[in-house]
Amino acid sequence: MDIKAILFSVAIVAIVGLFIGIFLGIASIIFKVFVDEREEKIGGVLPGNNCGGCGYPGCSGLAAAIVKGEAPVNACPVGGEAVGNQIAEIMGVEAVAGKKMVAFVKCQGDCDKVKEDYNYTGQQDCQMLAFVPNQGPKSCNFGCQGFGSCVKVCPFDAIHVVNGVAVVDKEKCKACGKCIAVCPRNLIELIPYDAKYAVACSSKAKGAATTKACSAGCIGCGICKKNCEKGAVEVTDFHAKIDQDLCIGCGACAEKCPKKSIITL
């Protein structure tokens, strides 16, 4: 074996490796992406759940948006006010107090209150019910079918199906919005954590049809609206809704509701 040939080959490999290393080093400098140090600091403050509840692709996406001025410092629903204050300090701006929100299921049609048209034994997924008769076994076409698509997507174990209807634990809820996005009947909305009353029904059917399907359904009678001194209750499409910004929590609407569709939170 020719030792010179071996040494020559080793030298060639070493020289090629050296040039590649130099080339990569220069390329890394030329094409380096400079990241604002504030973005890194904000990323370290954010909870890291990457839930998307802020409307951005994960915590890093939110951090970048805050630095660019595209998102407020209190945009993280999971971190809440505490994280918002830390981010405000990093950004050198005044913290803005945000209202704590939680998810609320606008239905109380559990197995004791709502009628069933047939016995369903298929896939336990609310979104699949679009392909079955009446979009589910329950007589109400607007209520919770109780198959837990919302439960499966909640990263905080804050929502569970109880007696056939989804119920939110507001102490665990971080208002990330994943349950809202997955509900095929749009039954879940965000309301203030300190809200006192809410309409636990989403039916837009006429009173007689609602009563036939569910004993606790809103019949759109308007008694709640008539008894609200602050004008916080409106009735449209046979369905009552409380404006939480106007509601003072007096309870008159819930007290007068003949179907008990308005519940205490």
Classify residue 250: in a domain, yes or no: yes
- In whole angstroms, what is the distance from residue 202 CA to residue 109 CA? 10
pLDDT tens digits along 58-108: 898 899 998 888 888 888 888 888 898 999 999 988 877 778 899 999 999
pTM for this structure? 0.77
Q: Span 178-203, mean pLDDT?
A: 95
Of the three residues 168, 193, 218, the one that is the final residue of a domain is: 193
Whether residue 175 sits in one domain with residue 141: yes
Q: Span 112-141, mean pLDDT?
A: 89
Of the three residues 193, 224, 257, the one that is the final residue of a domain is: 193
Whether residue 62 sits in one domain with residue 144: no
Q: What is the pLDDT of residue 166?
A: 97
Whether residue 142 sits in one domain with residue 61: no
Whether residue 165 sits in one domain with residue 140: yes
pLDDT band at 121 (very low <50, low <70, confident <90, very high): confident
Q: Span 142-171, mean pLDDT?
A: 95
Buried b or exposed e, range 47-80, using 16+ CB within 10 angstroms: eebbbbbbebebbbbbbbbbbeeebbbbbbbbbb
Which CATH number does the domain housing residue 242 bear?
3.30.70.20
pLDDT band at 191 (very low <50, low <70, confident <90, very high): very high
**Above 60 in pLDDT, residue 36?**
yes
Classify residue 220: in a domain, yes or no: yes
**Domain housing 77:** 37-91
Whether residue 202 sits in one domain with residue 253: yes
pLDDT tens digits along 216-256: 999 999 999 999 999 999 999 999 999 999 999 999 999 99
Of the three residues 142, 160, 193, the one that is the final residue of a domain is: 193
Whether residue 179 sits in one domain with residue 134: yes
Classify residue 252: in a domain, yes or no: yes
Whether residue 263 sits in one domain with residue 207: yes
Q: What is the pLDDT of residue 215?
A: 95
* Torsion sign, CA atoms 250, 255, 261, 265: positive
Whether residue 238 sits in one domain with residue 214: yes
Q: What are phi and psi of 86, to 5 degrees?
A: -65, -40
Whether residue 185 sits in one domain with residue 219: no
Q: What is the pLDDT of residue 32?
A: 64
pLDDT band at 28 (very low <50, low <70, confident <90, very high): confident
Which CATH number does the domain housing residue 54 bear?
1.10.15.40
The 3-state DSSP class for residue 226 equals helix
Classify residue 203: in a domain, yes or no: yes
Tokens for 86?
């830390």
Classify residue 240: in a domain, yes or no: yes
Instruction: Kindly report the average pLDDT of the chain as a whole number.
Output: 89
Classify residue 111: in a domain, yes or no: yes
Q: What is the pLDDT of residue 186?
A: 94
Whether residue 106 sits in one domain with residue 83: no
Classify residue 260: in a domain, yes or no: yes
pLDDT band at 211 (very low <50, low <70, confident <90, very high): very high
Classify residue 32: in a domain, yes or no: no
pLDDT band at 34 (very low <50, low <70, confident <90, very high): low
Whether residue 166 sits in one domain with residue 139: yes
Question: Percentage of the chain with pLDDT > 70?
Answer: 97
Whether residue 183 sits in one domain with residue 200: no
**Count of structural domains within the chain:** 3
